[in-house]
């Protein structure tokens, strides 16, 4: 059996050399890659990734566009051990699977459940709670909670581009998880920055003081900003630097919400989506995990027109480091 597989793989390698990788890749793309070129719906997801074999084949295509390479030495002389769903390197004898060194490795959870969970998190506009995920996947609450957090962490944009053009800034307060020692003040400050026709950032702030807001603004807005729109809150004149102040326009919410094109409506619409997520889906979010939920919401919002969202999220999952359960639950033993 193993010999047959090796022969088959050798044949594939010969074909590869004969036609050149470009022709073979085009062929593979048309044969297998249909789901990669259009938006995915749930029926297609089940059809294309309904079992682990299909999921592994997809991960293989995403991970090694030019053919499987050894994870140890980078050699392309790699053979398939079909019985064990592994590869063996002809140069260094290293054996590895398509999930090796990725978040999917050693999870005990079938790959198709990972795929379905990722799809559901990408598609649910207001997010999905661990309880909903638990019911959809038929897993324990702990498994669903941990799974959601790992997918959420992979969605994080590690080096976002500074925002420019016309940006709106506003702050809001969201209900946090109440604690015994601060039962009356469990609200969290969230600063929203939205570039018109561009990206959204939602950042948890330790407080709404000018110095705190200044740091957040400087970390997210570039020197190419043209107009900064806020309400007439006393925070902003102190939070903005000289250059930003010259480009600052305000709208007085006690009198009017829109003054010409001076308004903060687009960032406020993002806030209302966030609040619907917190009230309707996650119910209460702890201070510790709030930034992760904010990142998830921004990722989905900023990719709302991306037809390749599922594929792009899978690529992020392949590249992301594993988030350990003990790290997630460290110090604060609460789950949102």
Nearer to Zn ion, 53 or 91 (CB): 91
Closest CB 88 distance from Zn ion, rounded Å: 9
Structure tokens that stand for 10 in this block? 């050798």
Site string for Zn ion, 82-121 (x = CB under 5 A): -------x-xx-x---------------------------
- Residue of 73, 211, 243, 279 interacting with Zn ion (CB under 5 A): 73
Q: Please identify, using beta-carbon distances, which residue of 29 and 64 lies nearer to Zn ion.
A: 64
Binding mask 52-71 for Zn ion (x = CB under 5 A): ------------------x-
Q: How far is CA 294 from CA 5, 14, 94, 200, in A?
A: 47, 49, 41, 10
User: Which of 105, 276 has the CB closer to Zn ion?
Assistant: 105
Of residues 89 and 278, the one with the C-beta less far from Zn ion: 89
Q: Is 78 in the site for Zn ion (CB under 5 A)?
A: no
Q: Does 75 bind Zn ion (CB under 5 A)?
A: yes
What distance in Å separates the CA atoms of residue 12 and residue 304, rounded to the nearest whole number?
39
Q: How far is the CB of 74 from Zn ion (least distance, A)?
A: 7
Helix count (H) and strand count (E) of the chain?
Answer: 13, 8
Distance of closest approach, residue 87 Cβ to Zn ion, in angstroms: 9
Q: How many residues bind Zn ion (CB under 5 A)?
A: 8
Helix/strand/coil for 36: helix
**Dist. CA 226–CA 284, nearest whole Å:** 37
* Strands (DSSP E) found in 178-324: 187-195, 200-205, 221-231, 248-251
Shortest Å, Cβ 20 to Zn ion: 23
Specify the stretch interacting with Zn ion by CB under 5 A; choose among 43-51, 73-81, 261-269, 326-334: 73-81
**For Zn ion, the closer CB: 74 or 222:** 74
Other Cβ atoms less than 10 A from the Cβ of 8: the count is: 13
- The dihedrals phi and psi of 108, each to the nearest 5 degrees, come to 70, -10
CB of 107 to Zn ion, least distance (A): 25
Residue 97 or 220: the one with the smaller Cβ distance to Zn ion is: 97
Task: Work out which of 12, 52, 72, 215 binds Zn ion, going by CB under 5 A.
Answer: 72
Residue closer to Zn ion (CB basis): 52 or 72: 72
Q: Does 76 bind Zn ion (CB under 5 A)?
A: no
- What is 44-74 written as a DSSP string? HHHHHHSSHHHHHHHHHHHH-TTS---TTT-
Does an H or E element contain 163, and which? Answer: strand 163-175
Q: How many residues does the chain have?
A: 336
CB 137 within 8 A of CB 113: yes
Nearest CA to 301 among 280, 278, 271? Answer: 271
Tokens of 171: 């702050």
Nearer to Zn ion, 76 or 205 (CB): 76
Q: Which residues bind Zn ion (CB under 5 A)?
A: 70, 72-73, 75, 89, 91-92, 94
């Amino acid at each position: 059996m193993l010999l047959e597989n090796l022969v088959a793989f050798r044949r594939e390698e010969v074909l590869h050399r004969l036609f050149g990788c470009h022709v073979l890749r085009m062929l593979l793309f048309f044969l297998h890659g249909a789901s990669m070129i259009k938006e995915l719906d749930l029926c297609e997801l089940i059809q294309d990734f309904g079992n682990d074999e299909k999921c592994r084949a997809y991960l293989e295509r995403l991970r090694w566009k030019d053919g499987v390479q050894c994870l140890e030495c980078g050699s392309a002389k790699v053979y398939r051990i079909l019985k064990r769903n592994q590869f063996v390197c002809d140069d260094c004898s290293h054996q590895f699977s398509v999930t090796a060194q990725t978040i999917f490795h050693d999870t005990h959870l079938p790959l198709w459940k990972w795929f379905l969970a990722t799809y559901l998190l990408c598609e649910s506009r207001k997010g999905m709670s661990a309880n909903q995920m638990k019911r959809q996947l038929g897993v324990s609450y702990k498994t669903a909670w941990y799974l959601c957090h790992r997918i959420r962490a992979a969605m994080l944009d590690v080096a976002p581009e500074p925002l420019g053009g016309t940006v709106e800034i506003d702050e809001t307060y969201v209900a946090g998880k109440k604690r015994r020692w601060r039962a009356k003040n469990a609200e969290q400050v969230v600063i929203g920055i939205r570039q018109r026709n561009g990206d959204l950032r939602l950042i948890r702030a330790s407080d709404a003081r000018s110095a705190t807001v200044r740091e957040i603004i400087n970390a997210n807005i570039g020197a190419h900003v043209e107009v900064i729109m806020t309400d007439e809150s006393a925070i902003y004149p102190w939070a903005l630097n000289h250059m930003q102040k010259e480009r600052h326009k305000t709208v007085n919410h006690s009198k009017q919400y829109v003054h010409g094109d001076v308004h903060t409506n687009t960032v406020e619409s993002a806030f209302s989506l966030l609040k619907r997520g917190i009230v309707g889906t996650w119910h209460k979010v702890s201070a510790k995990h709030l930034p992760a939920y904010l990142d998830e919401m921004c990722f989905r919002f900023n990719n709302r027109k991306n037809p390749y969202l599922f594929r792009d999220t899978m690529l992020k999952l392949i590249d992301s480091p594993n988030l350990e359960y003990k790290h997630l639950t460290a110090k604060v033993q609460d789950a949102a």
